[in-house]
Structure 1
Amino acid sequence: MLLYNVTLIIEDASAAAWLQWMQEEHIPEVMATGLFVSNRLLKVVDSPNEGVTYCAQYVVQSIEDYDAYQLTYANALAAELNSRFKDKFVSFTTVMEYIA
C-alpha cells in the first residue's frame, strides 16, 4: 500500500473557502475515482510558513492504481483547484510506501 500526500499552504484569507471546497467537493471527487481505499485531511499546527498548511492524504493499494489516478484524473482535478484558488496557494506531493 502507498500513501499519496498532498501538502498545501494557502493564504489565510482563502483558507476557510478552500477547506469547505475540499471537504464538500474535491475529496469526494477523488474518492469517487474508486482508486483510493481511504483518505484523511490534516492541518499542520506548527508550520513555519505564512498562511495555513494542510495535508490531504489518500491511501492506494498499488502503484498501478496511483498511476491510473495520475493518468486519468489528476490533471482535471488539479485544474479545478488552480481555477478556484489561483495564486493563493503553493503545494507539493509525495508518494510514500508503507513499511510497517
Structure 2
Amino acid sequence: MIIYNVTSNMHKSLENEWLEWVREHIAQVLGTGLFMDARLTRVLVEEEDDSSTFSIQYKSTSREALELFYEKHDARMRQIAAGRFGDRVLSFRTELEMIDEYRVHGNMN
C-alpha cells in the first residue's frame, strides 16, 4: 500500500476558507477511484509565524494507481488549488510505503 501525503502550510487567517475548500477537494480526489480513503489532520506544532499546517493522507492500493493519478488528475487538481490560493498556501508531497500496520483490539477504558 502507498500513502500519498500532502502537507500544506498557510497563515491562520486562511484556515476556515482552506478547510472548507479542501473537504470538497478530498472528495474529488477520492472520486477518481484511485484511493481507498483519506485522512485530514492538523500538524501539532507551535508555529512562531502565526501559521497552520495540515496533512492529508490518501491510501492507494498500489504504486500503479498512484502513477495513474499523477498522469490523469494531479496537474489539473494542482492548478485548481493554485488558482484559488496562489502562494498563500504552500504544499509539499511525500510518498510513503506501508510496511506494517498495528491496531489495538478491544476496549481501552
- Common topology (TM > 0.5): yes
Pairwise mapping of residues 19-58 of structure 1 onto structure 2 (< 5 A)?
Answer: 19-23=19-23, 25-48=24-47, 50=49, 51-58=51-58
Structure 2 unaligned residues grouped into runs of 5+: 101-109
Q: Residue in 1 aligned with 2:107?
A: none
- Return the alpha-carbon distance in structure 1 between the equivalents of residues 97 and 48 of structure 2: 27
Structure 1 outlier segments of 4+, above 6 Å? none
Q: Residue in 2 aligned with 1:13?
A: 13
In the superposition, relative to structure 1, how do residues 12 and 2 fare at CA in structure 2: closer, same or farther (>3 Å)? same
- Return the alpha-carbon distance in structure 2 between the equivalents of residues 48 and 38 of structure 1: 29
Q: Residue in 2 aligned with 1:88?
A: 88
Contact 1:3 1:97 in 2 (8 A): yes
1:46 shift after superposition: 1.4
Q: Percent identity?
A: 32
RMSD: 1.1
Structure 1 unaligned residues grouped into runs of 5+: none
Aligned AA (2:26):
I
Q: Residue in 2 aligned with 1:65?
A: 65
Q: Residue in 1 aligned with 2:97?
A: 97
- Return the alpha-carbon distance in structure 1 between the equivalents of residues 47 and 11 of structure 2: 13
1:78 aligns with 2:81: no
1:75 shift after superposition: 0.6
- Return the alpha-carbon distance in structure 1 between the equivalents of residues 55 and 47 of structure 2: 15
- Return the alpha-carbon distance in structure 2 between the equivalents of residues 48 and 99 of structure 1: 31
- Return the alpha-carbon distance in structure 1 between the equivalents of residues 30 and 89 of structure 2: 22
Task: Judge which range, 44-53 or 72-81, deviates more.
Answer: 44-53
- Return the alpha-carbon distance in structure 1 between the equivalents of residues 44 and 35 of structure 2: 26
